[in-house]
Amino acid sequence: MSASYPEFVWQNGAIKPWAQATVHIMAHALHYGSSVFEGIRSYPTPDGQAIFRLTDHIKRLFQSAKIHDIQIPYTLEQLNAACREVIKANKLERAYLRPFAFRGLGGFGLSADTPTEVAVACWNMGAYLGADVLEKGIDACVSSWQRFAPNTIPAGAKAGGNYLSGQLVAREARRLGFGEGIALASTGLLSEGAGENLFLAFDGALHTTPVSAALLNGITRNTLITLAREAGIEVVERDLPREYLYLCDELFMCGTAAEITPIRSVDGKPVGDGKVGALTKQMQKLFFGLFDGSTPDRWGWLEPVG
């Protein structure tokens, strides 16, 4: 996000000017990472601006909160409405929405019953990993940092603290001159990108790592599995060893922010012929087609801003 901030945020039930949306320095989440959040995009469509899978994202926010015992004092409908309200207040065309809930001020211990604060920020966002990456792809590396081991930090929750891992992976990759880092699970098998799920193509089929591989069960991942199967493309969820990154025909990352970002090399080795492959392009066409109307939305994924 650039230094020109949007005008308004939604905080604890009301729209407020950006500068007034503050928290106390002793808020629990600031010290212990005790927040849960979502990242959601809105797109212009022929039927007006739509928020992509808003309800599914807010459901996942509640699931993350459930895992971490964070009580959210709003309903799903209220948070959906808050997301719409903050986009409209800021008059954004292509918004990235950031709803989040966190343990606020009140008590000092790890298990203190702190009140939950809830907010929704949003801003305009283009391609997350840089201009023209969707067409050209990025060079990725396997990180020296692994993801959390099972039954340590739950990877299935989208919690603030989890993103210390993502920061180590992403910052190491940037420092070494790569566009993004890919992490292995504690098993040594493939997990996911710093903030994206992975798809590998072999012989016209898509393979993606399973939720047991210490990853966030991405809504974009689910979208692509659904769209691919509808189009008659085989999709396999399976454990994959690291070296398959070097052997696959095509490779891409996906996520709300990254959308569908092709990967043209890993650890300096070209993926396939080093160019964006046909299956990757087909998945981009199906996915972005949801927003120009060329892919019919049979699932009610486009939720109008109104």
User: Could you list the active site residues?
Assistant: 158
Site for ligand PMP in 236-295 (CB under 6 A): 255-256
Only segment of 17-25, 71-79, 130-138, 212-220 that touches ligand PMP (CB under 6 A): 212-220
Query: Looking at beta carbons only, is 28 or 221 nearer to ligand PMP?
Result: 221
Among 42, 64, 114, 220, which residue interacts with ligand PMP (rule: CB under 6 A)?
Answer: 220
**Is 99 an interacting residue with respect to ligand PMP (CB under 6 A)?**
no
Distance CA 169, CA 147 (A): 9
Q: How far apart are CA 16 and CA 219, in angstroms?
A: 29
Place of tokens 């009610």: 300
Query: How many alpha carbons lie under 13 Å from residue 79 in its C-beta half-sphere?
Result: 27
- Over the window 32 to 51, marking each residue x when it contacts ligand PMP by CB under 6 A and - when it does not, the resulting string is -------x------------
Containing 283, the helix (H) or strand (E) segment is helix 278-292
Helix axes 278-292, 219-230, angle to 10 degrees: 100
Using alpha carbons, select from 205, 283, 219 the residue that is nearest to residue 256: 219
Give the contact letters, 149-178, x = binds to ligand PMP (CB under 6 A), - = no.
Answer: -----------------x------------
Q: Which of 104, 218, 262, 277 binds ligand PMP (CB under 6 A)?
A: 218
| Residue whose CB is less far from ligand PMP, 30 or 211 | 211
Give the separation between CA 222 and CA 216, rounded to whole angstroms.
11
Rounded least distance, CB 29 to ligand PMP, Å: 17
Q: Which is nearer to ligand PMP, 114 or 256 (CB)?
A: 256
The amino acid sitting at 91 is K
Size of the site for ligand PMP (CB under 6 A): 14
- Interface region with ligand PMP, contact rule CB under 6 A, candidates 87-95, 190-198, 266-274, 288-296: 190-198
Q: How far is the CB of 192 from ligand PMP (least distance, A)?
A: 5
Enclosing H/E stretch for 83: helix 76-90
CB of 41 to ligand PMP, least distance (A): 9
Distance of CA 16 to the CA centre of its chain: 26
Cβ closer to ligand PMP: 163 or 246? 163
Q: How far apart are CA 43 and CA 52, in angstroms?
A: 7
Distance in angstroms (rounded) separating the CA atoms of residues 252 and 69: 34
Cβ burial of 131 (10 Å; 0-12, 13-18, 19+) is exposed
Among 139, 192, 250, 259, binds ligand PMP (CB under 6 A): 192
Task: Identify which of 187, 213, 153 has the alpha carbon closest to the alpha carbon of residue 200.
Answer: 213
Q: Note the residues at the interface with ligand PMP (CB under 6 A).
A: 39, 166, 192, 195-197, 215-216, 218-221, 255-256
